[in-house]
Amino acid sequence: MKPSRYDEWVTSLFSQTVSEYGSHLQCDELWNDNAHFAELTIWLLRHCALDLGKMSDESVAFGLKHTFKGFEAEPNCPLKSGDISREMKIELIRSFESLYSGCFESRCAPILLHLGEPGGSSLNQFCFMLWDSSPLGSWNDHKDPEEFYTALVEMLKKVLLLSNPACVESALHGLGHLHPECPRLVENAIDECIDRGLNENLLKYALCARSGDVL
pLDDT grade, residue 71 (50/70/90)? very low
Q: Convert the pLDDT of each residue in 5-32 to its tens digit.
A: 999 889 888 876 554 444 445 555 666 6
**Contact assessment for residue 30 and residue 36, using Cβ atoms and an 8 Å cutoff:** yes
The continuous run of DSSP H or E covering 24 comes out as strand 22-24
| Number of folded domains that form the chain | 1
On whether residue 134 sits in a domain, the answer given is: yes
Of residues 6, 105, 122, the one with CA closest to residue 61: 122
CA atoms of 171 and 187, how far apart (whole Å): 13
On whether residue 112 sits in a domain, the answer given is: yes
Q: Tell me which residue range forms the domain holding 145.
A: 6-210
Please give the single-letter amino acid code of residue 107.
Answer: R
On whether residue 198 sits in a domain, the answer given is: yes
- Average pLDDT across the chain, whole number: 88
Of residues 61, 48, 66, 55, the one with CA closest to residue 103: 48
DSSP lists the bridge partners of residue 18 as 23
pLDDT confidence of residue 155: 98
Q: What share of the chain has pLDDT > 90, as a percent?
A: 66
pTM value is 0.91
pLDDT confidence of residue 74: 45
Please give the single-letter amino acid code of residue 171.
Answer: A
| Mean per-residue pLDDT, 77-102 | 92
| Mean per-residue pLDDT, 96-105 | 98
* Residue 73 confidence (pLDDT) above 90: no
pLDDT confidence of residue 80: 83
On whether residue 123 sits in a domain, the answer given is: yes
pLDDT confidence of residue 7: 92
pLDDT confidence of residue 26: 52
Of residues 12, 99, 28, the one with CA closest to residue 63: 12
- Any idea what the Cα angle at residue 28 is, between residues 22 and 33, rounded to 5°? 130
On whether residue 215 sits in a domain, the answer given is: no
On whether residue 1 sits in a domain, the answer given is: no
The continuous run of DSSP H or E covering 192 comes out as helix 183-196
* Residue 129 confidence (pLDDT) above 50: yes
pLDDT confidence of residue 81: 82
On whether residue 197 sits in a domain, the answer given is: yes
Q: Convert the pLDDT of each residue in 195-206 to its tens digit.
A: 999 999 999 999
pLDDT confidence of residue 167: 98
| Mean per-residue pLDDT, 183-208 | 97
On whether residue 130 sits in a domain, the answer given is: yes
Q: Which of 29-33, 34-38, 187-191 has the highest mean pLDDT?
A: 187-191
